[in-house]
């Protein structure tokens, strides 16, 4: 026996406007969130590069400002103290430490060579120079 239905089924296609609205709000949120991320610490003008390499292991970061001063753990440090701190870091990670140098683009090559030699004497096996991706320059121009 078939019972009559009192409620009519609605068989129309789903409205996509709410989904599109949520998608665009998420896209705007993600775009603004990535543009507003800043690196804490000392402000340096990094050189630009299109080819970026990744780092797989433990790292230590040394910042070199335009005057050639070294910063480690957000504090200014002299060369002998930096060498001692890098030795401690290398011993803590069992000789697999990568040194990331965030140097201002106006830093002299002689300063970077001295830092590389100092890191090698401390036991650091690999040194990488941090660069700003070329895409970041285009986003800065298009910014507000």
DSSP per position, 76-118: EE-HHHHHHHHHHHHHHTTS--EEEEEE-TTS-HHHHHHHHHH
Residue in the block written with tokens 């290398």: 90
Predicted model pTM: 0.60
User: pLDDT tens digits, residue range 86-113?
Assistant: 999 898 887 688 888 888 888 898 999 9
Q: Which fold has domain 48-136?
A: Nucleotidyltransferase; domain 5 (3.30.420)
Taking the domains of the chain in order of start, what are their residue ranges? 48-136
Mean pLDDT taken over the chain: 80
If we measure between CA atoms, which residue out of 121, 129, 101 comes closest to residue 42?
A: 101
User: pLDDT tens digits, residue range 18-49?
Assistant: 889 999 998 888 877 765 555 566 666 666 76
Confidence label for 78 from pLDDT (cuts 50, 70 and 90): very high
**H or E stretch including 71?**
strand 70-72
What mean pLDDT do residues 5-23 have? Answer: 80
């Amino acid at each position: 026996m078939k019972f009559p239905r009192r409620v009519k089924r609605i068989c129309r296609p789903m409205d996509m406007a709410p989904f599109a609205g949520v998608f665009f709000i998420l896209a705007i949120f993600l775009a603004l969130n990535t543009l507003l991320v800043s690196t804490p610490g000392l402000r340096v003008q990094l050189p630009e590069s299109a080819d970026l390499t990744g780092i797989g292991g433990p790292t230590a970061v040394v910042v070199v400002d335009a005057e050639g001063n070294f910063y480690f753990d957000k504090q200014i440090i002299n060369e002998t103290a930096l060498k001692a701190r890098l030795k401690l870091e290398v011993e803590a990670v069992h000789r697999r430490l990568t040194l990331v140098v965030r140097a201002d683009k106006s830093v002299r090559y002689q300063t970077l060579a001295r830092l590389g030699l100092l890191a090698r004497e401390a036991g650091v096996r690999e040194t990488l120079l941090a660069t700003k991706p070329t895409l970041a320059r285009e986003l800065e121009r298009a910014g507000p």
